[in-house]
Structure 1
C-alpha cells in the first residue's frame, strides 16, 4: 500500500492537535497520560510533536478522554485557521480553558 503525502492543511492540523494535547496535558507526565489512554508513550510523543499528523480516531478519542477534552473541542480547535478560536459553550475558548 502506498501512502500519499500529507497536504499542508493536514500537517497544520496535526501540529495544532499536538499543541492542544500538550497544553491539555499540562504538568501530567507523558508516560502516565499514554498508559492511561492505552497508547504507547512513543505514539503520544509523535502526536504531540506533529510527526503523526493523522492519528487514528480511537487513539485521539482515548487521549482526549484521559485529558478531559471533548471530541467536539478537539475538532473545533484543530480546524480553526491560525488566530481564530471559537468559544466553547461556557463562552471561553478552548485555549483559555486549557490555560486556566
Structure 2
C-alpha cells in the first residue's frame, strides 16, 4: 500500500517535493471528493506514522508522532461555518543524538 494521499486533481508529472519552509494551499472539493480524501488519509493513519500529501505540482512527505491535534471551530458571525483542522507534529529530535 502506498503512503501517498492525493488530492482529486492529481495528475502525473514533475512534482516539487516540499520538506522545509512554509507552504499553504486551500482547495475546494465536493462532498464525495472530500470523503475520498479523508478515507485515504485515515487509511494512512491506521497504517503507520508517515504519509505523503500531494497534488499535481507538489508533494509533502511527512512523518509524525502522536498525539494528533484535532481542532474544531464554529462561528456564525457572517456565515455559519464549521472548521475541522488536523495538526500533525514531526517526531521530536533525537535523530542526531549519539553516544561516543
Q: Say which structure is richer in helix.
A: 1
Give the TM-score band, short-chain normalised. Answer: under 0.3
Task: Name the larger-Rg structure.
Answer: 2
Q: Say which structure is richer in strand.
A: 2
TM-score, length of structure 2 as denominator length: 0.25
